[in-house]
Structure 1
Amino acid sequence: MTTLALIAADLVAITMLALVYFRRHRRRDLVTAFLGVNVGVLAVALVLGTVQTTIGLGMGLFGVLSIIRLRSTEISQREVAYYFAALALGLIAGLSTSLPLAGGLMAMILAALWLGDHPSLFHGSRQQTITLDRAITDEAELRSELTSLLGARVDQVTVRQLDLVRDLTVVDVQYRTGRPAGQVTAARTESARELEGLVAR
């Protein structure tokens, strides 16, 4: 009876996880992957629980499953977190013997993903990899160029490639959405001047 309850708890948990991910990111293919990985791991864990296994074998299985990556498409660290959560939910339900403990751990995983991926958490922070069509060696000039290009406050810039032959720069940039204060002031000043010119005419 406990096993059936754990299976039901896992199915409820993975369904909630998949719904949270789909409502926020709208990738149907990864929802299918999360469900398949979770149910598959649950089935394997239940089978392992019925036979004599060593701790080393269980840890080895967890290690192999935890590094699953799709080679056909690139997935972000966010998707890796959801994959790991789907794996953990299946293993907890398949190997646990205590429903209250398993339920508490599942709820903790769901709460962590729900909070950590909530749209209102650091909603203004963005990260992009940008290729500029000229080689910029001066960091201050690079920041100024990115600020002007993105219309946002640049927090951190990491140069990934500086090609002086092909005249390009590849950077990872973390920034906050919205115009920097200086640009906003400049834009307002320019608008005021245009308005004064129209009035003068």
Structure 2
Amino acid sequence: MSIGIIGAGALGSNFARALAKSGISATISNSRGPDSLVSLVNELGTSIKAGTVQEAASADIVLVAVRWVDAERVLDGLPAWNGRIVIDGTNPVEFIDPASPDANDPTNPLAVYGIKAVDLGGKHSSQIIRQFVPGARLVKAFNDLNADGLLQPAVAGGRRVLFYSGDDADAKIQVRQVIDASGFFPVDLGALDVGGPLASLNGPLSAHNFVRVS
């Protein structure tokens, strides 16, 4: 089983760090090309290599860890998915210009982080991402925690919880195995249209640091 990562920001790079800590191999990519990732892969060791977006997208399991505003552009024109697994790690947010009125909007609880939610017209994010990856088996995961939480799966005498959801049973089993092998405690939230909204931005399970204590 091969793993690819599209996006090397906070989520993509910390997911790679979590894999590397557990000795799991992966290919990480970004829009600037493999040469821009030399320092990161040197830090992570031999289990993580840098590749092109097309190379990362050719893996058996592919984490999409790009900015929401870039998702359609990045995913458009990639190799046919042909039933391979895509993990949707996105949250529908856009970055705010610090000089704009949005930066001080009292109705936006995310303004302090320099972001605001994107209005999806009542849809949840995986409904949108699903359109960009036709033929893939989509699983929502790795989006409910602050990306820094991926650096510390073991905490408070237990394992940090990561939620996942999807419509394909086998795809969910494989993603569950990745979560478990990375040191986290996987919790299945059911079908994509049920679990996706629960753990997505502003969902009731989003941004909580649940820990499963043995």
TM range (shorter): under 0.3
Structure 1-normalised TM-score?
0.26
Of Structure 1 and Structure 2, the greater helix share is in 1
